[in-house]
Amino acid sequence: MAVADVLRADTLGRPVRDLRISVTDRCQFRCTYCMPREVFGRDFAFLPREELLTFEELARLARIFAGLGVRKLRLTGGEPLLRRDLEGLVAMLAAIDGIADIALTTNGALLAGKAMALAAAGLRRVTVSLDSLDDAVFMALNDAGFPAGRVLEAIAAAAGAGLTPVKVNMVVRRGVNEQSILPMAAHFRGSGHVLRFIEYMDVGTTNGWRLDDVVTAAEIISLIGGQWPIEPVAAAYPGEVATRYRYRDGAGEIGVIASVTQPFCRGCTRARLSADGMLYTCLFAAAGHDLRGPLRGGASDQALREQIAVIWARRTDRYSEQRTRHTRPQQGRAKVEMSRIGG
């Protein structure tokens, strides 16, 4: 029996089910917590075009991952809609046997004009990032002068194209946008869209999460529950990242992603592919595995499949769980890689 047929789960028994594909390392926004202008400034060397995987290369890898058990694909970045004709890639991915779900995470800047084409190509769902409805707060965060109203238009366009329910990701950072939690909840209650609050992740220069800037999921839930009664909803599937709640009055659902205070490494079935073809087995993995080299060097599908299966079988990552426990000094790398492999 070939190695790929036996090595399906990692060292902690986690199968590979989801593949996050970063299609570009570029973004128009300079969100202070993700691609801060002082790092990603005018002189920052983004990947040259020839170093990006082509759509054909991405589809080939996705097909191989599907053969290993991947069922869900998520396109991310950078800002994925900066990649021209992204709907062409979606169509290629939608044709792969075994892929049941294709989603996109976007800042929404280019979504309104693309939503119909993406849906027609086979995109099923979209997650739009929006950290505040208050332009002063939102623009200070995105550092690109982009108003919240344009993101709301994009969300409406996505819903109009049938990419529902639209998920809205709000990263909450203490002292920056926590005052936006209740207005965001009020706005999206009853809209059919699902607002998800994400704990701000900052490893800074230590090996432990810095909690100073984190508004915890528990605080967020208690704040919202104090305003509108809510109750927990069972996870839709094993390993679901968001903990879900519903408003008791029937106004819909919210989610909290407690990456820092309740890490979900145990159920993590996600592999991540960077725009230049590096495979990461964790958002915070210290190193990736080059797939572009063998891909362009003439490796067969079977050879690539075996290589990926072995990488996955050796996977030990549980970064967030370990960071929640320890605070030894060590250089962190969260901020840079977030923008490369898609948050």
Judged by the rule CB under 6 A, the positions of this chain that interact with ligand SAM are 27, 33-34, 76-77, 79, 105-107, 129, 169, 171, 198, 200-201, 338-339, 342-343
CB of residue 76 to ligand SAM, shortest distance in Å: 5
Residue closer to ligand SAM, measured from CB, 106 or 281? 106
Q: Two tokens at 164?
A: 């529902």
Name the residue whose CB lies closest to ligand SAM. 343
Give the nearer residue to ligand SAM in terms of CB position, either 76 or 307.
76
Name the residue among 315, 312, 331, 325 with its Cα closest to residue 70.
312
Give the nearest distance from C-beta 162 to ligand SAM in angstroms.
20
Radius of gyration (Cα) for the chain, nearest Å?
Answer: 19
Q: Choose between 4 and 52: whose C-beta lies nearer to ligand SAM.
A: 52
Q: How far apart are the C-alpha atoms of 14 and 16, rounded to whole Å?
A: 7
Length of the chain: 343
What is the CB neighbour count within 10 angstroms for residue 224?
Answer: 23
Minimum distance, C-beta of residue 123 to ligand SAM, in the bound complex (Å): 14
Distances from the Cα of 153 to the Cα of 104, 140, 156, 158, 181, angstroms: 17, 20, 5, 9, 20
7 vs 134 by CB, closer to ligand SAM: 134
How far is 292 from 79, CA to CA, in rounded Å?
21
Q: How far is the CB of 200 from ligand SAM (least distance, A)?
A: 5
- Please say which residue, 17 or 340, places its beta carbon nearer to ligand SAM: 340
Collapse the DSSP code of 244 into the 3-class scheme (helix H, G, I; strand E, B; otherwise coil) and give the result: strand
Residues 60 and 19: beta-carbon distance below 8 Å: no
Closer residue to ligand SAM, CB minimum distance, 79 or 276: 79
Minimum CB–partner distance for residue 311 and ligand SAM (Å): 23
DSSP codes, 160-215: HTT--SPEEEEEEBTTTTGGGHHHHHHHHTTSS-EEEEEEPP--TTBSS---TTBP
For residues 107 and 307, which CB has a smaller minimum distance to ligand SAM in the complex?
107
Whose Cβ is closer to ligand SAM: residue 60's or residue 209's?
209
In the complex, minimum distance from the CB of residue 189 to ligand SAM, in angstroms, rounded to a whole number: 20
Q: 147: which 2 tokens?
A: 């108003």
CB of 27 to ligand SAM, least distance (A): 5
Q: Residue 266 and residue 251: Cα distance in Å, rounded?
A: 31
Give the whole-angstrom CA distance, residue 338 versus residue 343: 5
| Residue 254 beta carbon to ligand SAM: minimum distance, rounded to whole angstroms | 15
